[in-house]
A and B are shown apart, each in its own frame.
Chain A
């Protein structure tokens, strides 16, 4: 049996699966170790992928040649493009997926990769050679040696679940946690912290009175995550439903507070402020008498529903009673209660931008172990760790995305430079160049970069290039084609748009907020002909051309600032730069800089505690 690998990935969640796929696709010998082969890329929390800022990340993963987008598309039971009424930077694809099919499909995709081996077992310890990791020991007594190791243990490191005063050890319900690795890593002066997250109860759809609920359907024209045109979804599509908590629910929940591990001090981990438990919401915002909840179907045919917004660690009995006070849920039956889970994470500021540890060579960290939440955030890190581990094995240059190139760049840059003090989730407001990092242009931004390192396939590259050519043709057509008033005025009047009084370029029409590119396509035969000539991606090409024309001013202004700020990212700080002598730096800044050792002034400027005047000091010493 082969026990020698280039890359070993420990954990097959969203991070681990993308890491293993990226490494294998880059042509290095890869092993994926997981406790349970039936739980590959399991969705531990809600059965949905994407959403605001997260949808953009999935598009980026796809553009780089990852699988989260493809698997989500194939297994989706509802597609929605969120925020369509807002500007294009806000458009965010999201799907509900079939939880079981999602896992099945991921495994199917991974099993197609010839460089990837699997081993079902628990990794119990890492093998070190001084400050280098060189292999992994498993619970079955096997030793694997490897040039690099990627840790993607999610919530499994010392995982502890709480339901009222009931405590269960494990990484998910009915799945054991893993011990030992955290303790080993601590010895390398890497601080281990505790975080907490929670998940709501799942209920039986047969006990729900849907007539009382507000139905939320998917989009009629679904937007897929994947840029590959041959991905097809054949799943039965399903709706979500909305209900609200009320004062009665809140009163019942309050009776359980004394048993809440969150309030009686049993849970010590830090929870996310943006994803509070229902008990947290009631306490923090006591003036609100209702909170909105989403009932999300768990699969194509199952009756199980996930109650998004009702995450709780209160005793089962309380959860049960409180649920039954809500509209449509009078007779609700619970499949399984909500719970809170505490787990270990490692301070991500001790990582390089490649996600390799600064303290332990060849060891990479990705996903929830770095203090993030969310499948998408985890998958993105996994992919970047997988890429960089493989590139290191191949002795090639590291692969790093900048903040103005990708949300993935923002994510990793934030983790490394700012560290985390609560579970980190991506928001569009974290990206200072939001309008450049749109979901529609992820392939143009990233596919060439990934293709250049040998990851994105030829097919993917060709499609990205063709899409760009189609977009340019569309833009050329719009800026050159003029139309007579009589051809378009009746249609314009029908949408309350001012009629033309002379022949005009259609670009002037498209700049009107009420005129869409599809309106022009429907009424201008020549334009429709152009649309028909595209071999794929017709709608997405038109959407992108429209965005580039309508929002040209905003896009350009953002580029100006991005270029300006980016200059700081090119001012390199020598690796051996000595901060201790720089008395002109504030004490806090000096400590932070010594700890983080930023590679550039731009990076330094984003470290909390490093003030603008500290940056000016550094600039002076860098000779600027």
Chain B
């Protein structure tokens, strides 16, 4: 079987760093690591180490030391993958990383395919499907918030929530099935009021999970922010100031059009996606170049719009623009730049409709205040590590179908429809929830019935 092979890979980010970690997993990982390692205390071998211990020593090639390293040992099944694992912490030079990997491969390990460690963890029953997906998210997490969500899911928080829901559904369906399969006997009928209360709870739980997707999505992919304004109001200066202030440029994302580039910045642990910064970067007058239409597209795809202007700008045009943005249901911050030259007195009519801030992009004055406003509008200041948030499209789709079935149950109860239809919809909910964790509904229903009700002619 292919999964008894020992695999290795660099576990930390590619490139130069202070330290790097190389992970080995597979039956022979300890043996293989021993072949290229010499402990400081020469008598010590990794193989004789207890699980979860560290050993200091050197990586050796033809008796020549390559690097001083720390080796951690995880014995099966108590490791991430469930297999024997070794982690080698070495210095972060690319050359050292390469060298160690080459030595490992020469000693019998194979370079892991992308996701192979997670796949093994999944195959070894260390995690269910939703947890495995969370690992992928965790690795890709580009902000603290996103990291929290993925971590919670990986620990099984999400699966736990679904288990809970299933339990409630099981109670519900047992009550309904009882009056169906045993209608000829003098069994008590399921109390419709009790069912209504139960389905309300279930419905609320599913809705909550489902609604968290919008939030989950922005946490994972960043909250889209558009900076718009006339030429020469300081858009690129503001962008650079934001980037410098936070020293947190995550990446440039190449978009679908040749010049569309997005900047991801993490501000206070929240990921923001500054839309279409190409325009800002390449020329300061893209509104002039590309016209109002392009600006509007940009606004459409944003959740937060920063409308940037300068003192003494054309007030009328400006107000029209602000109204357009508000009409699109976007959150708006009007930013008056160049306060170092002249501070703008905000007209009263603005105050209630949107936030206004005076800043100087050039000197950085009041940037902190702007950042606070952005964070407030992002509405994710309150992510709790224990909140379950849906970030995965597959989960979202399954939950949406489950929610539709829940609606039908509620409606059915109102219209007093027969229990078999209620049961069918409940089974559908259970089916779709099961699709998320990979759990398939079995006939626990009858077991529950026999346990709790007196039946039998």
Question: What's the minimum C-beta distance from A19 to chain B, rounded to whole angstroms?
Answer: 27
CB atoms of A86 and B454 under 8 A apart: no
B340 within 8 A of A: no
Q: Which of B380-428 contact A (CB under 8 A)?
A: 415, 417-421, 423-424, 427-428
Question: What's the minimum C-beta distance from A552 to chain B, rounded to whole angstroms?
Answer: 12
Given contacts A557-B428, A613-B122, A615-B438, contact A288 B454 (CB under 8 A): yes
Q: Which of A275-316 contact B (CB under 8 A)?
A: 275-276, 280-281, 284-285, 288, 291-294, 308-309
CB atoms of B418 and A86 under 8 A apart: yes
Partner of B180, one of A86, A272, A294: A86
What's the Cα separation between A274 and B446 when bound, in Å? 10
Find the residue from B123, B181, B183 having the highest chain A CB count within 10 A: B181
Q: Which residues of B contact A28 (CB under 8 A)?
A: none
B353 within 8 A of A: no
A617 within 8 A of B: yes
Partner of A281, one of B180, B439, B450, B456: B456
What is the number of contacts between chain A and chain B, taking CB atoms within 8 Å?
125
What's the Cα separation between A513 and B412 when bound, in Å? 12
CB atoms of A434 and B424 under 8 A apart: yes
Q: Which residues of B contact A275 (CB under 8 A)?
A: 456-457
What's the Cα separation between A174 and B184 when bound, in Å? 32
A485 within 8 A of B: no
Given contacts A86-B419, A90-B420, A294-B457, contact A273 B181 (CB under 8 A): no
Given contacts A83-B180, A87-B418, A435-B420, contact A285 B454 (CB under 8 A): yes
Partner of B1, one of A273, A428, A582: A582
CB atoms of A52 and B420 under 8 A apart: no
CB atoms of B421 and A87 under 8 A apart: yes
Q: Which residues of A contact B457 (CB under 8 A)?
A: 275, 292-294, 308-309
Residue of A nearest to B183 (CB): A83
Q: Which residues of B contact A288 (CB under 8 A)?
A: 454
Q: Interface readout for B282-316 with A: 1 if CB under 8 Å, 0 if not?
A: 00000000000000000000000000000000000
Question: How many B residues touch A, CB cutoff 8 Å?
Answer: 47
A105 within 8 A of B: no
Name the prevailing secondary structure of the A interface residues. loop
Question: What's the minimum C-beta distance from B441 to chain A, rounded to whole angstroms?
Answer: 7
Task: Mark the stretch among A9-17, A529-537, A604-612 that contacts chain B.
Answer: A604-612
Residue of B nearest to A52 (CB): B181
Q: Interface readout for A361-398 with B: 1 if CB under 8 Å, 0 if not?
A: 00000000000000000000000000000000000000
Q: Which residues of B contact A51 (CB under 8 A)?
A: 184
CB atoms of B439 and A429 under 8 A apart: no
Q: Which residues of B contact A611 (CB under 8 A)?
A: 125
Q: Which residues of A contact B4 (CB under 8 A)?
A: 583
Given contacts A89-B420, A561-B428, contact A616 B181 (CB under 8 A): no
Q: Which residues of A contact B180 (CB under 8 A)?
A: 52, 83, 86, 90, 428-429
B164 within 8 A of A: no
Q: Which of A515-569 contact B (CB under 8 A)?
A: 551, 554, 557-558, 561
CB atoms of A554 and B128 under 8 A apart: no
Partner of A429, one of B120, B418, B445: B445
Question: What's the minimum C-beta distance from A556 to chain B, rounded to whole angstroms?
Answer: 12
What's the Cα separation between A51 and B185 when bound, in Å? 12
Question: What's the minimum C-beta distance from A94 to chain B, rounded to whole angstroms?
Answer: 8
Q: Which residues of A contact B183 (CB under 8 A)?
A: 52, 82-83, 86, 90
Residue of A nearest to B184 (CB): A82
A140 within 8 A of B: no
Given contacts A284-B454, A612-B439, contact A86 B123 (CB under 8 A): no
Q: Which residues of B contact A86 (CB under 8 A)?
A: 180, 183, 418-420
Q: Which of B95-126 contact A (CB under 8 A)?
A: 119-120, 122-125
Q: Which residues of A approach B to under 8 Å, CB–CB?
A: 51-53, 82-83, 85-87, 89-90, 272-276, 280-281, 284-285, 288, 291-294, 308-309, 427-430, 432, 434-435, 513, 551, 554, 557-558, 561, 581-584, 586, 605-606, 608, 611-617, 620
Q: Which residues of B approach A to under 8 Å, CB–CB?
A: 1, 3-4, 82, 119-120, 122-125, 128-129, 177, 180-186, 415, 417-421, 423-424, 427-428, 431, 434, 437-443, 445-446, 449-450, 454-457
Kindly list the 8 A-B residue pairs having the minimum CB-CB distance in the complex, ordered from nearest: A285-B454, A584-B123, A292-B186, A86-B418, A612-B438, A309-B457, A87-B420, A273-B450
